[in-house]
Amino acid sequence: MTEKVNLTWNGKAIQAEKGSNLLKAALDNGIEVAHYCYHAGLSVAGVCRMCMVEQDGVPRPFPSCNATCGEGMVVRNDTPKIKSAVETTLQFHLLNHPLDCPVCDQAGECGLQDYYMKHGVYDSQMIDKKVHKEKVQDIGKNVMLDAERCILCSRCTRFTEEVTKTNELGILNRGDHAEITVNEQLKNDYAQNLVDICPVGALTSKDFRFKQRVWFLEEVQTTCIGCETGCAVKVSENKNGAFRVKPIYDHDVNGHWMCDDGRNIYKHVSSPTRLASATENINGLFVPADELAIQATLKGKKAKYILSTGLTVGEYANFFKAIKGSKAEVALYTLPNLGVEFDGLLKRGDKNPNLRGAKAAFEAAGFDHTQAALDKMLGSIASSDAVFVVVPEILYNEDHFNTLIKKVEKAGTRIALTPGETLGTLRSFNYLLPVPSFLEKNGEILNYQGAARTLRAGLSYGETSKDVSYYGKWVNV
């Protein structure tokens, strides 16, 4: 147990760990301190000079991000001296800023805008021309760099140096001419985090660029289903669909970051080719179908289910409850591993978001979840069977899934339950039924640690409000 110390910040008594970061102590206790360069996940740089504080007994103001907490410290950042210091510093930050907020994606969540409203000197004293730098630079990995907007906080260079250790970014030249430059194109798998940590609009995401204004978006806190790590994320969305995924700090799982693959998990949810209602496949022509009619055609057929690993713990439980007492066979399709087992940061090769939950549910219901059981079921498929395949939400390897579909083709009735897009591969099914995606259901999944991670419903989309257990009730031979 680390020692706690008491300090006073703006007259408010707070507690912090001895020797911990002074700025962090304030932020953790809900005290607002303007800052650009400080980021809890990176080393301290002390370059933006925004978090200046005064301490009793210390003659000059100093940056709080570069100080540590000690017993009995009395710190203030609301004195006239500090206020004028912050105002002046902000003036310098804005000196060469192009003020292109109307066309900037960061507008609405920009550190410069936020602090300008609070600490701005509204009358410009600028008499010189602004220094212009290169604006639209594609630096790779879906990151766009606008050197003009940059305030040189060095968060991004520290990120590539300390977190990914790939060292692509640096600050070249000196003084007015200093600008962020890439040595070569970005090559790390965590590049989108640069967009998140950039406090201004210098680094923006190519994927999100010019799509939405951030004040039209709502954030839903949920869990990434891209791999078994289960990072805590927030998905920005509005009535037009989901637009981006950003990580939330979670000490035990993902820390501050998430990988680039996880940024794409929202894409199928509001895709125009997403299945919205029950559909029948008549020789390659997809026509809307009546669920009751589909139900009628299934009477008397032997039901075989191939579940994916993307369902929630609750969905598995409901499903097994629904088919209890029937002679239905159930097997589990697991996605193949992709890439390295674990890349040392967050990304894992096992792409099954809820493999542990699936296994537990299968075992509890007395079914076999192994690959052998799946192969056995695939081998025994006859034309009198109705096979239900729950399509995995994120298919990294379509070919692998296609081989599964090939083996299912012997069955008389083939039904795909799909939370994602209507892939070309689904042509070999007779019926397609929509099931909710991860953004449309509440529940829990178990990540690689076996820890329960929460999924939260943010969107309601089409008719996909029925979970897999609803379809499970259909066939009761």
Partner 1 sequence: MNETFEFNARNMATYNEYLTRYDDVESALLPVLHLAQEQNGWLPEHVINYISGLMNIPAIKIKEVISFYDMFYDVPVARNVVHVCTNITCSMFGGREIYQGLLKHFDTGYLTPTRDGRISLQKMECLGACEIAPCMRVNNDFVGNLDLTSAIQKLEELP
Query: Would you tell me which residues interact with partner 1 (CB under 8 A)?
Result: 161, 167-174, 181, 183
CB of 174: closest distance to partner 1 in angstroms? 5
Count of beta carbons in the 10 Å neighbourhood of residue 12: 11
CB of 188: closest distance to partner 1 in angstroms? 13
CB of 154: closest distance to partner 1 in angstroms? 11
CB of 181: closest distance to partner 1 in angstroms? 8
CB of 258: closest distance to partner 1 in angstroms? 24
Side by side, the strands of the sheet bearing 279-282 are 285-288, 279-282, 431-434, 413-418, 385-390, 302-307, 329-332
CB of 404: closest distance to partner 1 in angstroms? 45
Count of beta carbons in the 10 Å neighbourhood of residue 155: 25
CB of 68: closest distance to partner 1 in angstroms? 24
Which of 171/214 has CB closer to partner 1?
Answer: 171
Which of 95/178 has CB closer to partner 1?
Answer: 178
Which of 169/245 has CB closer to partner 1?
Answer: 169
Which of 181/238 has CB closer to partner 1?
Answer: 181
CB of 171: closest distance to partner 1 in angstroms? 6
CB of 202: closest distance to partner 1 in angstroms? 17
Query: Who's near 308: CB < 8 A, 6+ residues apart?
Result: 332, 333, 390, 391, 392, 393
Which of 174/251 has CB closer to partner 1?
Answer: 174
Q: Is 142 left (phi over 0), alpha (psi -120 to 50) or beta?
A: left
Instruction: Using CA atoms of 225, 228, 232, 234 in order, give the dihedral in degrees to the nearest 10.
Output: -20
Which of 157/229 has CB closer to partner 1?
Answer: 157
Which of 183/371 has CB closer to partner 1?
Answer: 183
CA 327 from centre of chain: 40
- C-alpha distances in Å from residue 209, one per residue of 136, 302, 390, 440, 459: 12, 50, 33, 25, 22
CA distance 116 to 110: 10
CA distance 176 to 73: 37
What is the chain's alpha carbon radius of gyration, rounded to the nearest angstrom? 27
Tell me if 259 sits within 8 A of 375, measured CB to CB. Answer: no
Which of 168/237 has CB closer to partner 1?
Answer: 168
Quickly list H helices, 389-434: 398-408
Question: In 3D, which of 311, 278, 275, 269 has the Cα closest to residue 423?
Answer: 275
Which of 173/273 has CB closer to partner 1?
Answer: 173
For 274-343, give the DSSP string: B--S-EEEETTEEEE--HHHHHHHTTTPEEEEEE-TTS-HHHHHHHHHHTTTS--EEEEPPPPP-S-SB-
Question: In 3D, which of 226, 267, 269 has the Cα closest to residue 453?
Answer: 226
CB of 308: closest distance to partner 1 in angstroms? 42
Residue 148 DSSP one-character state = G
Which of 154/352 has CB closer to partner 1?
Answer: 154
Which of 168/196 has CB closer to partner 1?
Answer: 168
Q: To 5 degrees, how large is the angle CA 332–CA 274–CA 362?
A: 15
Helix, strand or coil, per DSSP, at residue 111: helix
CA distance 57 to 59: 6
CB of 249: closest distance to partner 1 in angstroms? 27
